[in-house]
Amino acid sequence: MSIKAEEISALIKQQLANYQDELTVDEVGTVTYVGDGIARANGLDNALSGELLEFADGTYGMAQNLESNDVGIVILGAYKGIREGDTIKRTGRIMEVPVGEELIGRVVNPLGQPIDGLGDVKTTKTRPIEKKAPGVMERQSVSEPLQTGLKAIDALVPIGRGQRELVIGDRKTGKTSVAIDTILNQRDQNMICIYVAIGQKESTVRTQVETLRKYGAMDYTIVVSAGPSSPAPLLWLAPYAGAAMGEEFMYNGKHVLIVYDDLSKQADAYRELSLILRRPPGREAYPGDVFYLHSRLLERAAKLSDELGGGSMTALPFIETKAGDVSAYIPTNVISITDGQIFLDSDNFYSGVRPAIDAGTSVSRVGGSAQIKAMKKVAGTLRLDLASYHELESFAQFGSDLDEATQAKLNRGRRTVEVLKQPLHKPLPVERQVVILYALTHGYLDGVLVDDILNFQDQLFEFIESNHNEIFADIASSGQLPEGSKLDDVIKEFAETFQSSVR
């Protein structure tokens, strides 16, 4: 078989026509130090702060310190395969995480990689973990309530969609339980929840995930977990990764609840990183920008204006105190950034008042604008009642001769404390909360034994559900108390048939 010269020349011409002269230039440096989750490299003169850098073994790092002779890099992942003298190159990208509906129901690490054994997350969307918070004109004031299902919070320290409400307290005072119950109560509320576990034991996170799954809450929840064995950079990045995932929904007009459990551990991880990177330490050895660490995160929670779709992201940051000291550095920082705080008191917790919310110290700076009108009416005097009860209680133990008015206040106070108690993982719809608080503030519980209050409450709900269910439906739909004396008549009718179970 002979080969014709014309065929060869035609083939060469075709190849030359398709040839593209592509020149790729990679800016490459050399690793000069590696250890404790950080690396240093020289030769990366044009690296940007926050840029992703790729090591020779495929591990990624993030440029943090840009110094005259080298770059300080935090390593995102295991660093055992990295050696001094290895090459490292710029990627030209900033740190991003996968986002989108596909993450719902999954447990991922701060890089968006699944850690629940359910296979890959099939999403192509990503978002940068650091994003400028919405400006003043891009927001609107908080007006929609976010119902937690906990009477003590919804009545005394209401939370609105787009608010940042700090949950603060000592270790083992029920902070995580408040978050889990709030997430459980978002079922059928058109709310996507993100639970960010920072430095929580992996067995604890597993228990929380199983609880959420048991009550069907994983259908609308994403869990981001950075365990205590994770490198410090991942603990530091976890809340930002969660915020980026939440923003994807918020900017699409949806409502998001994000829980950061807890930011004390994030601050500790950031302090560790900063000290290893030789940044100058400040108060309690935290770096000077530890306030900015939390403010730029929490400011991303917002209620967006109608022009931007009216979506919202509500943040519940957690801070762990030591011996109830809210005047320490990190607690005072976060208190000044948030729109109020829910303080959990260890004395309340161990005396059986759970959730252990201290009504005197807790405050919501959004207040009544995050409550339905019915709740505003029944809860108006609760805080004052509780404050005067606690004041009288401390005096009453010194003397037994109390006048009738004082005795009546003490009796009402004891019943108020009892009504605000709530079993674990049993959040109450707002219409039921309104009914029992109405019964309390209008004196219908004054004759009921304190030990029988919760029994009275359960039976009252059953009675209304069976005989007068329109009351619940009316409060839920209109947000108002039923007209006239309808509610009074129903509670009186029930009170006459109520049988005490306490002997």
Just list the catalytic residues: 365
In whole angstroms, give the CA distance from residue 258 to residue 410.
39
Contact 198, 235 (CB under 8 A): yes
Q: What is the DSSP string of 116-180?
A: SSS-------EEES--PPP-GGGB----SEE--S-HHHHHHS-EETT-B-EEEE-TTSSHHHHHH
In whole angstroms, give the CA distance from residue 200 to residue 205.
7
Reported residue count of the chain is: 503
In whole angstroms, give the CA distance from residue 399 to residue 284.
46
Q: 3-state class of 387 per DSSP?
A: helix
In whole angstroms, give the CA distance from residue 266 to residue 273.
11
Cβ of 463: how many Cβ atoms within 10 Å? Answer: 17
Q: Provide the β-strand partners of residue 128.
A: 96
In whole angstroms, give the CA distance from residue 252 to residue 308.
8
- Residue whose tokens read 């997430």: 183
In whole angstroms, give the CA distance from residue 283 to residue 74.
23
In whole angstroms, give the CA distance from residue 294 to residue 302.
15
Closest C-alpha among 342, 380, 435, 369 to residue 146? 369
Cβ of 77: how many Cβ atoms within 10 Å? Answer: 21
Contact 370, 144 (CB under 8 A): yes
Running DSSP on this structure, what letter comes out for residue 115? Answer: -
Closest C-alpha among 90, 92, 95 to residue 77? 95
In whole angstroms, give the CA distance from residue 236 to residue 289.
13
Closest C-alpha among 74, 20, 24 to residue 51? 74
Contact 154, 147 (CB under 8 A): yes
- Stated as kind and residue range, the H or E segment containing 39 is strand 38-42
